[in-house]
Structure 1
Amino acid sequence: MSLEASRQKFIDTWGALGTEWGINKSVAQVQALLLVSEQPLSTDEIMEALTISRGNANMSLRQLLDYGIIYKKVIAGDRKEYFVAEKDIWKWALKIALMRKQKEIDPVLNVLTELEAATKKDKTAEGKALHQTVHEIQAFTEQLSTLVERVASSTRGELLLKLLKLVM
């Protein structure tokens, strides 16, 4: 397989994976393109490489900038905006994990905590069963939240040791 075919396969696969994770395909493809690009790319270059509209490219770039996993790059003498990807997989994976925790886990945890407290006093069989279910899901979600926070605050070496301890 040629280098260009390999790059395209990576971009296509990353885009497909993104949709599985709830991320817009174009957003994932823009990140993939920037990950495999040696040089900073302009919006026009991204549009051409991915065959996407300017609006789609701008929306995707804005989202990736908001995630903190791509950066603007100034090129002396050029007025265009250029972009580069965070190449350190640990940095961008942890940024995405924290962002997803804030958007997905934290709101659910708030509702579960509220429901756990609201169902605690119900002494009916159905009420006790609901409370138990909510309590177990809430406890699991709290552990998951804590795990994400600890992983995000760890250095690479600490992280690997912690993960190894979890699986052993």
Structure 2
Amino acid sequence: MSELDQLKDDFVTQWGALGSQWGINRTMAMIHALLLVSPAPVNTDQIMEALHISRGNANTNLRELISWGLIRQVIVRGERKDHFEAEKEVWKIFCTLARERKRRETEPASMVLQDCINRSKGIKTAEGEEFHKQLTALNEFVTLANTMMEKIATKEQSALLPKLVKLLS
């Protein structure tokens, strides 16, 4: 194995470990990493061989990565097998992740919170009022996070990045 191949393998392994810490399936993160560092589209058999995973595991995670918008299926002329490539532009990946996290996590959380807030309005005990107050504060934060993720996911890097740098300075 060449030094570059070893580095790629290390990256794929570590990205998989990080993915599980971010709440993403380790294999899904490893497939994403493999496609990120692959210079050409890769087919399912190549993914299975590189990561030592089953076809079912590969197919399940490929479908999930496609649904997240992080990879796409591509046609390679002269090949009958499906090939896949990752989005490689970092800002687009970040925006996709922000949009998907919002859709899959913070929007449903906000709906649950709003339902509980509405149902707790009529509880006039001290504990009920404190519960309502706490959920309202939590929902305000989740709503703010949703708004921020929406703004990030729809902005061009060149327009947003200088503002973020200025804000953080």
- How would you bin the TM-score normalised by the shorter chain? over 0.9
Aligned residue in 2 for 1:135: 136
Of 143-152 and 109-118, more deviation after overlay is shown by 109-118
TM-score relative to the length of structure 2: 0.92
Alignment of 1:17-56 (within 5 A): 17-56=18-57
Q: Is 1:116 aligned with 2:113? A: no
Alignment of 1:50-129 (within 5 A): 50-129=51-130
**Identity across the alignment (%):** 42
The alignment partner of 1:122 has SS state of coil
Task: Output the CA distance in 2 between the equivalents of 1:126 and 1:159.
Answer: 43
The alignment partner of 1:72 has SS state of strand
Of 76-85 and 1-10, more deviation after overlay is shown by 1-10
Could you say what the CA RMSD is over the residues aligned between the two structures, in angstroms? 1.6
The alignment partner of 1:84 has SS state of strand
Deviations 1:113-153 (A, max 9, x none): 12222223433221221111111101111000100001111
Aligned length: 168
Alignment-mate amino acid for residue 123 of structure 1: K
Of 72-81 and 8-17, more deviation after overlay is shown by 72-81
Alignment-mate amino acid for residue 55 of structure 1: G
The alignment partner of 1:23 has SS state of coil
TM-score relative to the length of structure 1: 0.93
Of 157-166 and 97-106, more deviation after overlay is shown by 157-166
The alpha-carbon distance between structure 1 residues 123 and 164, as it changes in their structure 2 partners (threshold 3 A), is: farther
Aligned residue in 2 for 1:14: 15
Query: Structure 2: where are the runs of 5+ without partners?
Result: none
